[in-house]
Amino acid sequence: MTVSALTILQLDERWARYATYSGLTEAIRLRFTDAGGTLRELFSRIAFNICVGNTDDHTRNHAAFSDGRAERLTLTSAYDVCPQQRSTGEASQAMAYGPDGERRSGLAPLVDAAHLYLLDRVEAEEIVERVVAEIRAGWSDAADRARLTQADRNLLWESQILNPSIFYAG
């Protein structure tokens, strides 16, 4: 059986906008089979979402497999990743990922929240660097597979994909 993060957090649709990654990290610590590995993967996914401009990372776009018992959950593969157009350089994630409700699409504030994901700062920085490097290395191939025109590639690159604003520290 598959359950959404909305269900895992025991939220009604009306309260979904109040869901946070912080709340999800607590549920992962309590109910997932490999809490440490799952939190590391969740942090990586948030970094990826920020890097590719996927701000549609709400509770219905995260899920887990359940064996029918509440304490035996495992994270599903990522899905519904859809870069969103920006009218300005800055954007915000659908769910807050930091301890103080931080949701700004930025890698520095995500690294600052590493402790929520049971990571130290060095581990968090390594994950972010790996995600950025993999996107840079794989962009051309991904664009080829998607059959993007040069105009579309130019439109997406450093606009939605690796927008410079995600690297700002402040």
Residue 82 is assigned to a structural domain of this protein? no
Query: Cβ–Cβ contacts within 10 Å for residue 49, how many?
Result: 25
CA distance 39 to 73: 13
Domain limits for position 22: 2-77+90-165
Residues 57/167, Cβ–Cβ less than 8 Å: no
Residue 158 is assigned to a structural domain of this protein? yes
pLDDT digits (tens, 9 = 90+) for 120-140: 999 999 999 999 999 999 999
Residue 25 is assigned to a structural domain of this protein? yes
* Residue 11 reports pLDDT greater than 90: no
pLDDT confidence of residue 169: 64
| H/E element, 158 | none
pLDDT digits (tens, 9 = 90+) for 90-110: 899 999 999 889 999 999 999
Region of residue 74 (left: phi > 0; alpha: psi -120 to 50; beta: else): beta
pTM: 0.91
Residue 70: pLDDT band (50, 70, 90) is low
Mean pLDDT check: name the lowest of 48-52, 54-58, 73-77: 73-77
Residue 110 is assigned to a structural domain of this protein? yes
Residue at 62: amino acid letter: H
Residue 70 is assigned to a structural domain of this protein? yes
The whole-number average pLDDT for the span 151-161 is 92
Residues 59/19, Cβ–Cβ less than 8 Å: yes
Which residue would you say has higher pLDDT here, 77 or 55? 55
Residue 5: pLDDT band (50, 70, 90) is confident
Q: What's the distance, Cα to Cα, between the start and end of the chain in Å?
A: 42
Tell which residue, 75, 55, 57, has the closest CA to residue 66: 75
CA distance 97 to 30: 18
CA–CA distance from 131 to each of 52, 95, 108, 120, 126 (Å)? 10, 20, 14, 17, 9
Residue 83 is assigned to a structural domain of this protein? no
Q: What total number of domains does the chain contain? A: 1
